[in-house]
Amino acid sequence: MSLQMVLLPVFVQIGLTFALLLWMVTARTKAVKARETSLKDIAAGQPKYPTGVAQVGNCFANQFEVPVLFYFLIALALPLRHADLFIVLMSWVFVVTRFAHAGIFVTSNNIQQRSLAWFAGVLVLLAMWLYFALKMLLLI
């Protein structure tokens, strides 16, 4: 696989993270300016944002949980030359599940749908890790 094919889903996932970051900063700034929350509340470390603002912030924070395992897998697979077609295809499936999860998180926040999207991504990532581990251990 070419470097570009392996890294493109990673860059798309990073793009999602930065988009959520910008959305969060904008939403939080608007909430403070509209006096929906105060700087005092933010400074205390327990920000009290309106629900929609909190959802975007929580969704952004979530991008540093399960996706870290994705980044680490790719960071290992690339230099070890084990980033093959399966890894690339599953990377795209993982990224799609992350977009679905984020979309649900920042809109309806339906916990059942959100959990399904999250779990689907976890299963895909688990399959990627198992595949990678077997390739490494069996030297295939």
The pLDDT value given to residue 41: 80
**pLDDT at 88 exceeding the cut of 80:** yes
Q: How far is CA 39 from CA 30, 31, 56, in A?
A: 12, 10, 18
**pLDDT at 39 exceeding the cut of 90:** no
> Residue 70: which CATH number?
1.20.120.550
Task: Provide the residue range defining the domain that includes 56.
Answer: 3-138
Number of domains in the chain: 1
Query: What number is the average pLDDT over the span 63-77?
Result: 97
- What pLDDT digit, counting tens, does each position of 60-69 carry? 999 999 999 9
Q: How far is CA 97 from CA 35, 84, 89, 104, 124, in A?
A: 35, 20, 13, 11, 9
Residue with tokens 């860059």: 11
User: How many degrees, rounded to 5, is the angle at CA 89 between CA 58 and CA 139?
Assistant: 110
Label residue 135 by pLDDT band (50, 70, 90). very high
Average pLDDT score, the chain? 95
